[in-house]
């Protein structure tokens, strides 16, 4: 653990002491992610290739008696509390709804829950497409798993966290963000098959090629619930239903089950907007598999080209980019030493991810970002991502017994 990380943990513990009068029993960390390629394919049961990053969400907690959960947010400097028997979304403390949602989903699934006091601390930029909300949910679900001694698998924790985002927060997200926040590996991307939730670790040895994975925050924040995300999902479902009727082949359960050659044959039956959405998904699945193969074959040039193609499709077919982001991406792609650049995450704002020679990072920051600022009036922020491990328990009681479970009446 770096000195910087140790200092952060000390600050979190001392805040906990200040708020609750003793040190926390548990400290859990869950990272954000950058998606290298495979956008809007997860909820279509397709392929994605994300990596966990060294920006994370930390929750420090101790079991409490009674039925009250109290949480202090270091980021907002606000305290929220609620009882296990009546969990509603908070209008006052928006940031607390990710925690409320996971606890509520946990109770519904396990018919029991546990009261606790917590301090939360995140350094993933919010609304930037780097999965700050998934990291929050995964940290809380992992904490509950520890406190309640349930020994859930990573897959079960990811599904619970996703359900909470779908049902409580109201975003019909796929499984990618929660899954990679749990299963990320240092120095590797995770090839996730969202149909059967199997993964393959794909080495991402940036140092070997002297490459940098550069995340650029466009400075345009997006609010997923208010965005067109759920609408895009519906469009994919409607396109799929039409294709199932037209193709009349058995075993088509998702767009993933339609190969691109077959899609091309039948695409003209779809209305234009749906045709474009489905085309993106079908081709993006192919690109993910090719991109993973390119990384395995050490063909980083090919990988970069696929990133560029993915962006073009997000812009033209899936229509989730913005003109400011298109400008940033095209200037980045044209910059010497850049292998590929694209919008990452859901879109409608947020970050780009770019693969470039390490020696090009300085000139990228000094030339491309001022051009972007001049054209848009917005200052973009750059993070050089380190590909990190998935969620971990940093501290827990020596013999964690799970404390006393507060049994909550069947819901």
* Residues contributing to the site for ligand GLA (CB under 6 A): 35, 39-40, 42-43, 131, 173-174, 176-177, 345-346
Q: At what angle do helices 272-296 and 229-247 cross, to 10 degrees?
A: 100
Q: How far is the CB of 192 from ligand GLA (least distance, A)?
A: 11
Burial of 386 (0-12, 13-18, 19+ CB in 10 A): middle
Closest approach of Cβ 68 to ligand GLA, in Å? 30
| CB 184, CB 49: distance < 8 Å | no
For ligand GLA, the closer CB: 62 or 131 = 131
Report, in Å, the least distance between residue 100 CB and ligand GLA.
Answer: 19
Minimum distance between the CB of residue 138 and ligand GLA, rounded to whole angstroms? 12
Shortest distance, position 131 Cβ to ligand GLA, whole Å:
6
- Compute CA distances 373 → 127, 264, 362, 383, whole Å: 20, 40, 16, 17
Indicate the residue among 347 and 403 with the shorter CB distance to ligand GLA. Answer: 347
> Closer CB to ligand GLA, residue 160 or residue 173?
173
Q: What is the DSSP pairing of strand 116-122 with strand 68-73?
A: parallel
Tokens of 113: 């829950």
Q: Which is nearer to ligand GLA, 104 or 131 (CB)?
A: 131
C-alpha distance from residue 279 to each of 188, 238, 286, 402 (Å) = 28, 13, 11, 49
Looking only at the bridges linking them, the beta strands covering 47-63 and 188-193 are: antiparallel
What does the block give as tokens for 262? Answer: 């077959």
Which among 167, 177, 205, 257 is annotated as catalytic? 177
Residue 145 a catalytic site member: no
Assign 3-class secondary structure to 321-373: CCHHHHHHHHHHHHCCCEEEEEECCCCCCCEEEEEEEHHHHHHHHHHHHHHHH
Do residues 66 and 406 make contact, with C-beta atoms less than 8 angstroms apart? yes
Give the nearest distance from C-beta 35 to ligand GLA in angstroms.
6
Please say whether the beta carbons of 32 and 353 come within 8 A: no
Q: Which region holds residue 125: left if phi is over 0, alpha if psi is between -120 and 50, else beta? A: beta
Give 40 or 276: the residue with its C-beta nearer to ligand GLA: 40
Rounded Cα distance between 106 and 114, Å, is 10
Return the number of the residue (134 or 188) whose C-beta is nearest ligand GLA. 134
Q: Which helix (H) or strand (E) holds 291?
A: helix 272-296
CB of 40 to ligand GLA, least distance (A): 5
Which CB sits closer to ligand GLA, 43 or 364? Answer: 43
Complete DSSP assignment for 68-106 = EEEEEETTTTEEEEEETT-----SS-GGGHHHHHHHHHH
CB of 44 to ligand GLA, least distance (A): 9
Inter-axis angle of helices 323-334 and 300-316, to 10 degrees?
160
DSSP helix/strand/coil, 34 = strand
Question: Catalytic positions, please?
Answer: 177
């Amino acid at each position: 653990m770096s000195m910087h990380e140790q200092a952060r943990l000390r600050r979190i513990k001392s805040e906990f002491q200040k708020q609750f009068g003793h040190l926390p029993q548990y400290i859990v960390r869950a990272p954000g992610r950058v998606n290298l390629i495979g956008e809007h394919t997860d909820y279509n049961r397709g392929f994605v290739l994300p990596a966990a990053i060294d920006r994370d969400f930390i929750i420090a907690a101790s079991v409490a008696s009674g039925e009250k959960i109290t949480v202090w947010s270091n980021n907002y400097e606000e305290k929220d509390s609620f009882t296990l028997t009546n969990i509603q979304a908070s209008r006052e403390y928006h940031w607390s709804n990710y925690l409320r949602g996971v606890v509520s989903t946990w109770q519904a699934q396990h018919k029991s829950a546990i009261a606790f006091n917590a301090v939360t601390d995140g350094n993933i930029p919010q609304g930037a497409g780097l999965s700050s909300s998934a990291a929050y949910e995964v940290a809380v679900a992992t904490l509950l798993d520890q406190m309640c001694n349930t020994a859930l698998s990573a897959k079960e924790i990811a599904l619970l966290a996703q359900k909470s985002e779908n049902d409580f927060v109201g975003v019909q997200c796929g499984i990618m963000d929660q899954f990679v926040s749990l299963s990320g590996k240092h120095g590797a991307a995770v090839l996730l098959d969202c149909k059967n939730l199997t993964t393959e670790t794909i080495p991402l040895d940036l140092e070997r090629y002297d490459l940098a994975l550069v995340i650029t925050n466009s400075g345009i924040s997006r609010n997923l619930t208010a965005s067109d995300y759920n609408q895009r999902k519906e469009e994919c479902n409607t396109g799929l239903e039409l294709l199932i009727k037209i193709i009349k082949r058995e075993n088509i359960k998702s767009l993933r089950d339609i190969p691109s050659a077959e899609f091309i044959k039948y695409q003209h039956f779809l209305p234009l907007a749906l045709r474009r959405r489905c085309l993106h998904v079908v081709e993006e699945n192919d690109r993910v598999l090719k991109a993973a193969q390119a990384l395995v074959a050490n063909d980083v040039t090919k990988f970069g080209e696929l990133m560029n193609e993915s962006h073009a499709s997000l812009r033209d077919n899936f229509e989730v980019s913005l003109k400011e982001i298109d400008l940033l991406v095209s200037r980045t792609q044209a910059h010497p030493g850049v292998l590929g650049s694209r919008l990452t995450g859901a879109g409608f704002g947020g970050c780009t991810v770019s693969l470039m020679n390490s020696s090009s990072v300085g000139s990228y920051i000094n030339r491309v970002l001022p051009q972007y600022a001049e054209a848009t009036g917005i200052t973009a922020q750059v993070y050089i991502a380190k590909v990190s491990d998935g969620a971990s328990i940093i501290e827990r009681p020596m013999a964690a017994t799970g404390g006393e479970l507060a049994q909550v009446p069947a819901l």
